[in-house]
Amino acid sequence: MKEHSVTLAHGSGGQAMAGLIRELFLEIFDDPELARLEDQARLESPAGKLAMTTDASVIDPIFFPGGDIGKLAVCGTVNDLAVGGARPLYLSCAFILEEGLPLADLRRIASSMKAAAARAGIRIVTGDTKVVPRGAADKVFITTCGVGEIPPGVNLGAANIRPGDRILISGFIGDHGAAVLDARGELALEHTLESDCRPLNHLVAHLLSACPNGVHALRDPTRGGVAAVLNEFAQTCGHCLRLRETELPMREAVRGMCEILGLDPLYLANEGKLVAVVAPKIAETALAALRDHPDGRDAAIVGEVTETPSGMVILHTIFGGERIVDLPMGEQLPRIC
């Protein structure tokens, strides 16, 4: 390609688009199904149940410490499969590009998608590319859809949560939200914060292999943070999820940023953390399994489930008090993912 940036012709269905697909996407993603250039990929069906999920990524900025919009798009979808206990198999990716986007940026993004997909063990098998005129979108949006296989006997879900269950978190909370906020350049922090963006499927597989029974529900706390996930759990299971503030793993830099800006870290987005609700008798085994894996080294047991008050999330504060943790009302940080 002679051009240095995306033009409307790259979305035309014509020669420029064919060039972009061949010289950029096919070369980087490097999958035989994609290379067939038919309108659909043709694949082996999963033997077990099929899991399917989708994510639109609109993050701003598109590059941030610890990742970029491409890595985020792949990891977000892989993780939504993984928390259902599914083994990720196939990924589609659709790009909406703003005219003028530097092709070097697109190449960097596609390369990081390939790296994340390889790490997760998912194949990029089909895609689409659209270009809109300058000002009709902001640089690049990526929508991924993932298909996975749920092995027989695996049935994770908020409806399985029981009173007495323990709540675990696989590591420091709020890293992604804090890193993106920092990357927007409106703060002047001493240390660079890094997003935790990563595929979680290997961590989930490790946990489920150590604890074949007793893992009741998993979720990755992205938009709306740990607070949103626990509220969704509480509403579905009809019990009360209680968190101990003293146990919540959090980096000092994130804690400091939240204090300065008046943000609540429970609402900050994560892109590489797992919330697990497990039966009490396997809680220590589950914790050990998480800590045993590089993606869960800083895991902690952070709370438990009680029967009442029904459908609520309660934080036991450092000062010995209790407060209700609601679903967020509005938007702390637009375009966080």
The closest of 129, 145, 139 to 78, measured between CA atoms, is 145
Residue pair 101/236 in contact (Cβ under 8 Å)? The answer is no
User: Binder to a copy of itself among 67, 70, 148, 265 (CB under 8 A)?
Assistant: 148
Total interface residues for a copy of itself by CB under 8 A: 90
Q: How far is the CB of 102 from a copy of itself (least distance, A)?
A: 18
Q: How far is the CB of 322 from a copy of itself (least distance, A)?
A: 21
Q: Helices 69-82 and 103-120: crossing angle, nearest 10°?
A: 30
- Which residue, 81 or 203, has its beta carbon nearer to a copy of itself? 81
Distance CA 324, CA 315 (A): 6
Q: Is 332 in the site for a copy of itself (CB under 8 A)?
A: yes
Residue at 298: amino acid letter: D
Q: How far is the CB of 125 from a copy of itself (least distance, A)?
A: 6
Site map (CB under 8 A) of a copy of itself, residues 244-283, x = contact: -------------------------x--------------
Q: Is 138 in the site for a copy of itself (CB under 8 A)?
A: yes
Which 8-state DSSP code applies to residue 296?
Answer: G
Site residues for a copy of itself, 62-81, by CB under 8 A, read 79-81
Residue pair 29/115 in contact (Cβ under 8 Å)? The answer is no
- Which residue, 236 or 306, has its beta carbon nearer to a copy of itself? 236
User: Binder to a copy of itself among 220, 271, 295, 304 (CB under 8 A)?
Assistant: 220
**What long-range pairs does 229-234 form, CB within 8 A, spacing at least 24?**
229/275, 230/167, 230/275, 230/313, 230/325, 231/313, 231/325, 231/326, 231/327, 232/158, 233/158, 233/161, 233/275, 233/277, 234/311, 234/312, 234/313
Site map (CB under 8 A) of a copy of itself, residues 153-192, x = contact: ----xx----------------------------------
Q: How far is the CB of 56 from a copy of itself (least distance, A)?
A: 4
Phi, psi (deg, nearest 5) at residue 237: -85, -20
* Dihedral of alpha carbons 121, 124, 130, 134, sign: positive
Site residues for a copy of itself, 19-38, by CB under 8 A, read 36-38
- Which residue, 83 or 179, has its beta carbon nearer to a copy of itself? 83
The gap between the terminal CA atoms of the chain, to the nearest Å, is: 30
Distance CA 40, CA 198 (A): 28
Site map (CB under 8 A) of a copy of itself, residues 290-329, x = contact: ------------------------------------xxxx
Q: Write out the two tokens for 113.
A: 């998608």
The one segment of 12-20, 181-189, 280-288, 304-312 that binds a copy of itself by CB under 8 A: 12-20
Residue pair 79/199 in contact (Cβ under 8 Å)? The answer is yes
User: Binder to a copy of itself among 2, 4, 47, 319 (CB under 8 A)?
Assistant: 47
- Which residue, 23 or 284, has its beta carbon nearer to a copy of itself? 23
Q: Is 215 helix (H, G, I), strand (E, B) or coil?
A: strand
The one segment of 160-168, 228-236, 257-265, 297-305 that binds a copy of itself by CB under 8 A: 228-236
